[in-house]
Amino acid sequence: MANELILIVEDNPNNLKLVRDSLQVKGYQTIAAETGEEGVRLAHERQPALILMDIQLPGISGVEALHQLRADPVTRPTPIIAITASVMTQDRKRIMDAGFDGFQGKPISVKQLLATVREILDKPSAQP
């Protein structure tokens, strides 16, 4: 049922493991990238159903990766959830204004993350 492919872009190994394990337990397939550049490339090649995007990354930021993904017709419709340590309201607004489809704060709440993932995957616009 929950077997969609999800791309995780995250440079912190502990966060990556937490997110990947949580998704896999629920039946999702996952692929991962440690940089925005690799994430953009993998998203184009594998066309995941959803992308979880860390904001602070080595190389290009998660926001720049989002812009590149939106500029590519292949990945333009893919929903992207931002994962960020910032809890500031204005930062959250800035991230959503950049064009992300959802927001997950750090420390990561697995329950909240899984709910957000399911909610966005179930939106009619996310269907192929």
Site residues (CB under 5 A) for Mn ion? Answer: 11, 54, 56
Tell whether the torsion through CA atoms of 117, 120, 124 and 125 is positive or negative.
Answer: negative
Tell whether the torsion through CA atoms of 76, 78, 83 and 88 is positive or negative.
Answer: positive
d(CA 47, CA 63): 19
How many angstroms separate the Cα of 97 from the Cα of each of 11, 57, 67, 91, 102? 23, 19, 12, 10, 11
In the complex, minimum distance from the CB of residue 39 to Mn ion, in angstroms, rounded to a whole number = 12
Nearer to Mn ion, 36 or 79 (CB): 36
In the complex, minimum distance from the CB of residue 33 to Mn ion, in angstroms, rounded to a whole number = 12
In the complex, minimum distance from the CB of residue 62 to Mn ion, in angstroms, rounded to a whole number = 8
DSSP bridge partners of 8: 32, 52
Nearer to Mn ion, 56 or 68 (CB): 56
Nearer to Mn ion, 54 or 101 (CB): 54
In the complex, minimum distance from the CB of residue 7 to Mn ion, in angstroms, rounded to a whole number = 15
Nearer to Mn ion, 32 or 126 (CB): 32
